[in-house]
């Protein structure tokens, strides 16, 4: 059953690629993490691992590293190196809001809707991004996989955690989920969200969104208020 757009009470938005433009910092930070684990740039192994990182944008980063490096110790080492490298790039001023993102969030809040920001990054990385943008007080709640029991996208856990914590919606069909990857879309579909949309400002495109079950594809998050 499709939920009337005007009945949406909770809006769950992804960060990097959806509300935040990071200019490919994930790939740069991955390169640093890969070298830490002895994977040299230009090798077939590096190219294969980078392709996997690109394909799984939106998924919890520690889950990605567990797949790439096998044992838990190597995965944790890679994840720590990634977080450090990404944090340094963020501190260097290399991220910015997607045009219109802050205004969109403020407009949604002004209409009485609750907005929650989610990420596949760790809390320390998420906080670094929020601080760099001056977004600490922009929304009432931000979530990373650890805040939802450890499972990130494509599981529905962060969306459902937002639903439970904010108590801003009476039913999951009053939730909208918006992101730039098929993993964002899948998490919304699995959570039973009434509106699930992909945006063309990040990692994945229309075909991936539709295949994952998106009901809408937007040029950017700035189009969301009009849709609602």
Cβ count near 216 (within 10 Å): 17
Q: Using the 8-state DSSP alphabet, how is residue 192 labeled?
A: T
Q: Using the 8-state DSSP alphabet, how is residue 16 labeled?
A: B
Which pairs from 130-133 meet CB under 8 Å and 24+ separation? 132/90, 132/91, 132/93, 132/95, 133/20, 133/95, 133/96, 133/97
Q: Determine whether 191 is exposed, middle or buried from the number of CB atoms within 10 Å of its CB (0-12, 13-18, 19+).
A: buried
How far is the C-alpha of 200 from the C-alpha of 204, rounded, in Å? Answer: 7
pLDDT at 2: 55
Task: Tell me which residues of the chain have a pLDDT lower than 50.
Answer: 1
Q: What is the pLDDT of residues 59-111, one digit of tens each?
A: 788 888 999 988 899 999 998 998 888 888 888 888 999 999 999 999 999 99
pLDDT at 121: 86
> DSSP secondary structure string, 6-75?
GG--EEEEESBTTTEE-TTHHHHHHHHHHHHTT--TTSHHHHHHHHHHHHTTTS-HHHHHHHHH-SHHHH
């Amino acid at each position: 059953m499709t939920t009337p757009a005007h009945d949406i009470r909770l809006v769950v938005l992804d960060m990097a690629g959806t509300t935040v433009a990071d200019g490919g910092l994930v790939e740069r930070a991955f390169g640093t993490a890969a070298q830490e684990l002895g994977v040299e740039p230009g090798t077939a192994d590096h190219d294969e691992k980078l392709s996997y990182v690109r394909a799984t944008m939106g998924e919890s980063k520690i889950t990605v590293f567990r797949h790439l490096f096998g044992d838990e110790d190597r995965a944790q080492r890679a994840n720590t190196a990634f977080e450090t490298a990404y944090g340094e790039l963020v501190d260097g001023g290399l991220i910015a809001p997607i045009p219109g993102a802050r205004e969109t969030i403020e407009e949604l809040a002004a209409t009485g809707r609750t907005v929650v920001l989610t990420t596949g990054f760790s809390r320390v990385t998420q906080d670094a991004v929020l601080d760099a943008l001056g977004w600490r007080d922009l929304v009432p709640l931000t979530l990373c996989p650890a805040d939802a029991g450890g499972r990130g996208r494509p599981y529905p856990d962060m969306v459902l955690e937002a639903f439970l914590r904010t108590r801003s919606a009476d039913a999951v069909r009053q939730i909208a989920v918006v992101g730039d990857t098929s993993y964002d879309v899948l998490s919304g579909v699995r959570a039973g969200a009434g509106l699930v949309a992909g945006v063309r400002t990040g990692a994945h495109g229309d075909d991936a969104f539709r295949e994952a079950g998106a009901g809408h594809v937007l040029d950017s998050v700035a189009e969301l208020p009009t849709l609602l």
